[in-house]
Structure 1
Amino acid sequence: MTLLKAACRWVALLFLAGLLLISLTLLLFRYINPPTTAFILTWQIENRTGVEQEWVPLEDISPWMPLAVIASEDQRFLEHWGLDLDAIATAVDAFREGDSLRGASTITQQTAKNLFLWSGRSYFRKGLEAALALGLEGLWSKRRIMEVYLNVAEFGPGIYGVEAASRAHFGIKASQLTAEQAARLAAVLPNPRVYNAAAPSDYIWRRVSWIRAQMGQLGGRDLVRRFY
C-alpha cells in the first residue's frame, strides 16, 4: 500500500510539474514569438528540408486576412472561450456513427495543435487540443491568438505563415492582400498540401465565393477592427 501511495504521489507531482511547464510556456509565448512549432519540426524531419516562414506582427497583415479565416474557419471566434461546444457535439455524434473525427476545431484549437501537437483525429489528441485551447484563451488575448495563428498556419507544402504565403502565391507582402487574395489563402487551409491558392481549382473558387459572402455578412473589416 505504501508503494502504491508513493507511486500515486509521484504521478501527481509529475502531472503538476507538466501542467506548470505548459502554463509557463504559454505565458512566455504570449510575449515572445514561438521559435518553431510541432508541425514545422515534423515537416523538417519528414522532408529533410527547411520551410518558408517570416514572422510579422498583426498590424503588418491586411485586415482582410483575419476576417477571411474567421469567416472560413471559426465564425464565433470573438465570442467563445476556445471551444465551440455545439460544433464539437455534432462532430462527436458523426464519429460515433462511423465518420472520421473531424471539424469542430476553433482557431484557438488550431493554434494549439500547430504549436504543440501532431496530426491526427483521436479522442486523446482532441482532448489535449481542447485543454491547450482553454489555456491559450486564459493567458492570451484574442489578438495574440490570431497573430500567432496567422504566422504558424500552413498555407502550402513547407509554407508557414501568411507573410511567406503572400510572397509565394501572389508576390506581395501580407499587408497588401486584397479581400479576394485573403479568401483564397483561407480557402486552402483545410488541406494546404493539396489545394493551391495561386492556382485555385473549381472547388477552391467555390469556397472563395462562399468565404467572400460570409466576410460581408459578418460585417466586413469592422469585425476585426479591434485587432488593429
Structure 2
Amino acid sequence: MIRKFFKTILVLLLISIAYTIVCRWIMPPITITQLGSLFAGNGLRRDYVSWDEISSNAKLAAIAGEDQLFPEHGGFDWSAIEKSLDTRHKNRIRGAAASTISQQTAKNVFLWQGEGIMKYVRKAPEFFYTKMIEWFWGKKRILCVYLNTIEMGKGVYGIEAASQKYFHHSAKYLTRKEAAMIIACLPNPKVFTVLPESRFVRWKSNWILRQMNNIQSDTDIRKIIN
C-alpha cells in the first residue's frame, strides 16, 4: 500500500515536471482559476499573445508595480516575505504581499487561488513550481506567461483581453498610462476596476508610472523587457 502510494506520487511528480517543461513553449490550455471563473458565471475572456505582441510599457509596468526585484531574485523575495510576516510592515503597495511575479505565475498556471487553509496547503507546491519555472523558463518566459494568464478584471485574463476590453486595441500598442492602469488593478481586479477607474486604480497607476520612470534605465530590466 505504501509502495503504491509513493509510486503514484512519483508518477504525478514526473507528469508535473513534464507539463512545466512543455509550458516553456506553449501556453497552458486552461488553468484552475480560469475554470473557476467559468463555473462562477464570470465568463472567460482570454487571448494569448506572443512576447513581441506585448508592449514594453506593459512589461515595465508589471515589474514596476508588482516585483521590482524580478531580474535579480531566484523566484522569491525573502526580505519581502519576512516583512509580510511582521504586521508592523504591512504595505498595500505590493500587488500580492511578498509574492513575486514568479510565484504569482506558478500559482496562476499550475495551482489555485484562495485564502485561509487553502493558502497554506498551496505553499509547498507553489515553492516547487516557482523554482521549476525559474530553472526551465527564464525571466522573459515567466513575464510573458504572467501577462497572458493573470486576471485583469472579472472574467478577463491576460493583457491582450484586458487591452481590448478597456482600450479597444491590441496589447502591442498600450501606452504607459494604459499599462499602468491595467497593472494597478491586480491586487483585486474584481473590486479595483480599470474602467470605470476606481479610486485605488487611479492612485496606484500614478504610483506605478513614477516607479516606471525610476527603474526604466536599469540595465537588467531593459534586458528583460526588450
Equivalent of residue 62 in structure 2, options 63, 66, 69: 69
The Cα RMSD (Å) is: 2.0
In structure 1, runs of 5+ residues without a counterpart are: 1-6, 96-101
Aligned residues: 216
**Contact 2:57–2:174 (CA<8 Å) still a contact in 1?**
yes
Indicate the percent of aligned positions where both proteins have the same amino acid. Answer: 38
TM-score normalised by L of structure 1: 0.88
Equivalent of residue 15 in structure 2, options 16, 21, 24: 21
**Contact 2:166–2:194 (CA<8 Å) still a contact in 1?**
yes
Amino acid at match of 1:203: F
**Contact 2:216–2:222 (CA<8 Å) still a contact in 1?**
no
CA distance in 2 between counterparts of 1:130 and 1:204 reads 30
In structure 2, runs of 5+ residues without a counterpart are: 89-95
Equivalent of residue 131 in structure 1, options 114, 128, 131: 128
CA distance in 1 between counterparts of 2:200 and 2:104 reads 23
**Contact 1:67–1:220 (CA<8 Å) still a contact in 2?**
no
Shift in CA distance, 91/8, structure 1 to aligned 2, threshold 3 Å? farther
CA distance in 2 between counterparts of 1:196 and 1:85 reads 30
Q: What does residue range 100-115 of structure 1 map to in structure 2 within 5 Å?
A: 103-115=97-109
Shift in CA distance, 226/93, structure 1 to aligned 2, threshold 3 Å? closer
Q: Which residue of 2 aligns with 1:140?
A: 137
Matching of residue 89 in structure 1 with residue 82 in structure 2: yes
Shift in CA distance, 226/119, structure 1 to aligned 2, threshold 3 Å? closer
Cα deviation 1:139-160 (Å, max 9, x = unaligned)? 1111111111111111111111
TM-score normalised by L of structure 2: 0.89
CA distance in 1 between counterparts of 2:150 and 2:218 reads 21
Q: Which residue of 1 aligns with 2:52?
A: 59
How far did 1:34 drift? 1.1
SS of 1:154 mapped into structure 2 = coil
**Contact 1:38–1:115 (CA<8 Å) still a contact in 2?**
yes
Equivalent of residue 184 in structure 2, options 180, 183, 187: 187
How far did 1:132 drift? 1.0
Q: Which residue of 2 aligns with 1:12?
A: 6
Amino acid at match of 1:73: E
How far did 1:221 drift? 8.4
CA distance in 1 between counterparts of 2:83 and 2:11 reads 34
Cα deviation 1:145-182 (Å, max 9, x = unaligned)? 11111111111111111011001001111011000110
Shift in CA distance, 90/10, structure 1 to aligned 2, threshold 3 Å? farther
Amino acid at match of 2:72: E
Cα deviation 1:65-110 (Å, max 9, x = unaligned)? 0110111111111111111111122223449xxxxxx611111111
How far did 1:216 drift? 1.0
CA distance in 2 between counterparts of 1:116 and 1:105 reads 15
CA distance in 2 between counterparts of 1:83 and 1:112 reads 12
Q: Which residue of 1 aligns with 2:91?
A: none
